[in-house]
Amino acid sequence: MYIDELVIKNICDIAVEAGDAILEIYNSKTDVSIKNDGSPLTEADIAADIIIKKRLKALFPGIYLVSEEDCPAIFEKHELFFLIDPLDGTKEFIKRNGEFTVNIALVHKGYPIAGVIYAPALGELYFASSRTGAWKKKYGLKERIICQKWSVKRRLRIIGSRSHICEKTLNWMNALGHQYDLISAGSSLKFCRVAEGAADLYPRFSPTSQWDTAAGHCILEHAGGSVTNSSGQAFMYGTDLPIINTAFIATSSVEIFNPDNYIIKR
């Protein structure tokens, strides 16, 4: 599929519309239920999911949709499909810290070719594609975002989950051969912080799903970073793959893993 600026604008508009609906509920009392997997579910998750799917079906008819709130037990196999997380960071939404997002990614042959992340409470919209590069828009101001390349002369900035950081991730970070500062953030904003130069590395060894990472993956790669599995191999998406991701490393630059820098103890 050819991705042009109009396609990206349409996906951005859908994310913002869903985010506005989320904010209406965010600013009122919210009932919380628990899904079968133990994760929380709010009225905002459902409202955003309805808006996104309705608008995507109207603008992009025939493209398969995979959403967290409408996930079948068995997927149809498609080379081109949307991955949707209508409200990523539901725990942050419930805590009312503003660090929740709307994630929409378009995947083709295993790779996210377009990605949009909108943080409605923060007024931050991130979007990327091979055609447009990676951008951030906040309160009407638009700027190109580029990863900040890491230098061995400064401390490494590692970003981790505000609600989900696990012992395995901590052990991996503690095995680094270089001093680091730990930054916390919720939802897919962790990818965005690396993409815009506010962090260098986002390692994740606790479970995530494809819809949690695809949009952020796209934005980070087109800002000059990369996302790989923990062995350094390509990180892939697909309706023929498990919906639960493997561990991954999102980074601003390959210099972090240069053996000459002695970052990872091997």
> What's the confidence (pLDDT) of residue 172?
86
* Mean pLDDT of the chain, nearest integer: 90
**For the segment 106-155, what is each residue's pLDDT rounded down to a tens digit?**
999 999 999 999 999 999 999 999 889 999 999 889 999 999 988 888 88
Selection from 16, 240, 258 nearest residue 117 by Cα: 16
Express as a percent the part of the chain with pLDDT over 90: 70
Domain architecture of the chain: domains with CATH: 5-144 (3.30.540.10), 156-261 (3.40.190.80)
Q: Which residues of 96-116 are buried (b: 16+ CB within 10 A; e: fewer)?
A: eebbbbbbbbbbeeebbbbbb
Collect all residues with Cβ–Cβ distance below 8 Å to 19 and sequence separation of at least 6.
Answer: 48, 102, 118, 119, 120
Whole-prediction pTM = 0.93
Q: For residues 243 and 230, what is the distance between their CA atoms, to the nearest angstrom? A: 17
Residue 210: enclosing H or E segment and its boundaries?
helix 210-222
Where in the chain does DSSP place strands (E)?
A: 32-34, 40-42, 64-67, 80-88, 101-108, 111-119, 124-129, 133-138, 141-144, 156-161, 180-185, 201-204, 226-229, 248-251
Q: Express each pLDDT in 55-97 by its tens digit.
A: 999 999 999 999 999 877 677 889 999 999 999 999 899 999 9
